[in-house]
Structure 1
């Protein structure tokens, strides 16, 4: 029997698109014969995954997970995609999304999560491959984010929830401080609801992407010119509009949706006084399902019929 080397497993994985553990098992079952192993995988339905890898997967779920680490907490949010919303209602898919979010608590980025080992001994990537073969749709862990605080909480909020910790928008809010965790968690959930609704671009003004600011400045400058504003006043006008833009998209400066007379910055400061301990909002992540994915255009059957009938 041929030695089942890592190179042999890699070769079979690249040819079949199946998971590493399945490839190794196939090679063991076939005495290291790659072609026979390919046939073995096909009989098990495991090589189908490769054929589906180029399909657009923009549906699925966002999942969150968290754990207490002494006085602090760690939390993660992932986006696990499939091709249809129907699959997102599948219990196998939902359980996998939860398990992958748990794995993200100790992994860095998508590659780290895909390489993480689950409780059953398979890696996340192997489990994804098996799900593709079982359910019949392309799937992928597309995005991962993680926050941790040494003291305090990383609160979570899930919008359009389909099950606990699963939905279409997931938000993490990192709050550092020695205040009661239940109070901090409630505050974090409220801020999470605000973030889900307003989609801020950054925590503070200094964190705002300079490219986004300059893009906005260019648009506002052109608009001011088209509106016939005096040339010598345009820069000052645009500066004022940029300040308003920053207020609109920077979380700390945004008016709190539950009390527009109070900014998020003020909410955190006032809550600290109320809870008897200073609180710092150190970070957040808002992850919405399918953001930035180019979906294939749905066929316009009405237009097709009209063109065929001359209507």
Structure 2
């Protein structure tokens, strides 16, 4: 090999490898936030209170951004989900009264759902929601109120008195009994609340979260105002007859 070529080779080999170093430096910056980060219930609640989005949406958003609340808020806004929290206080005086009659005609439901404009009320998205909510009421015979806040305080106090007197709590300290009873009462009240029920077509969300999803889609406040359930024969006292006595009466026997 000639001296000139050897010198050129040495020059090439001695040049610093700058490009890989730059790539190595940039790699961490491009690395995505870990999606499997542990998300606490407190963080989910904080994001929910801030955005008005559903619990499952908040949890998903936090996982997508590695638990950062600000980034999760942006993620929800990009998806249109955080909108629900900003329109929830606007007056909803339009809407529909919808109905659902269960197969066989033994159970029927009337429900009033409100929105802000007649334009949205006539849309397929809103009308579908009204039908689904009416069907939900028919499927949940224990539900008596739209939301927990509608349940009279006297009912909660009566339930608390019943729970405090249960035998399984008699041996427990007062403060422990109180905590257990509070948990039981909260569970009981949610069983009576339509908005806290798992949605019959998607058990991963509640009816409240379903409504918030629709709010995000239509851009208007939506409120479930009231409902009535009709069960065939409910409240009618059915006369119980004794077949033997009827036969005796018809044949003149005593």
After TM superposition, the score normalised by the length of structure 1 is 0.45
Residue 61 of structure 1 aligns to a residue whose secondary structure is strand
Shift of 1:142: 1.4
Residue 110 of structure 2 aligns to a residue whose secondary structure is strand
Shift of 1:36: 1.3
5 Å-filtered alignment, 1:199-238, equals none
Cα distance in 2 between the residues matched to 1:86 and 1:19: 25
* Contact preservation (8 Å) 1:52, 1:138: yes
Cα distance in 2 between the residues matched to 1:134 and 1:115: 21
Residue 50 of structure 1 aligns to a residue whose secondary structure is helix
Task: Provide the aligned length of Structure 1 versus Structure 2.
Answer: 153
Cα distance in 2 between the residues matched to 1:177 and 1:88: 40
Cα distance in 1 between the residues matched to 2:231 and 2:113: 21
Cα distance in 1 between the residues matched to 2:47 and 2:119: 31
Residue 144 of structure 2 is aligned to residue 108 of structure 1: yes
Query: Which residue of structure 2 lines up, in the alignment, with residue 146 of structure 1?
Result: 229
5 Å-filtered alignment, 1:242-257, equals none
Residue 37 of structure 1 aligns to a residue whose secondary structure is helix
Shift of 1:118: 3.1
Cα distance in 2 between the residues matched to 1:108 and 1:145: 9
Shift of 1:4: 2.1
Moved over 3 A (4+): 174-178
Cα distance in 2 between the residues matched to 1:141 and 1:20: 19
5 Å-filtered alignment, 1:61-140, equals 61-67=96-102, 73-105=106-138, 106=140, 107-111=143-147, 112-116=193-197, 117-121=199-203, 122-140=205-223
Structure with bigger strand share is 1
Shift of 1:124: 1.6
Cα distance in 1 between the residues matched to 2:116 and 2:212: 14
* Contact preservation (8 Å) 1:4, 1:28: yes
* Contact preservation (8 Å) 1:109, 1:145: no
Residue 133 of structure 2 aligns to a residue whose secondary structure is helix
Higher RCO structure (Cα 8 Å, ≥6 apart): 2
Residue 47 of structure 2 aligns to a residue whose secondary structure is helix
Structure 2: segments with no counterpart, 5+ residues = 1-35, 148-192, 239-254
Cα distance in 2 between the residues matched to 1:103 and 1:138: 20
Shift of 1:175: 8.2
Larger CA deviation: 12-21 vs 103-112: 103-112
Query: Which residue of structure 2 lines up, in the alignment, with residue 34 of structure 1?
Result: 69
Cα distance in 1 between the residues matched to 2:72 and 2:200: 25
Query: Which residue of structure 2 lines up, in the alignment, with residue 227 of structure 1?
Result: none
For 2:86, which of 51, 67, 92 is the aligned residue?
51
After TM superposition, the score normalised by the length of structure 2 is 0.55
Cα distance in 2 between the residues matched to 1:108 and 1:176: 20
Cα distance in 1 between the residues matched to 2:77 and 2:220: 16
Larger radius of gyration: 2
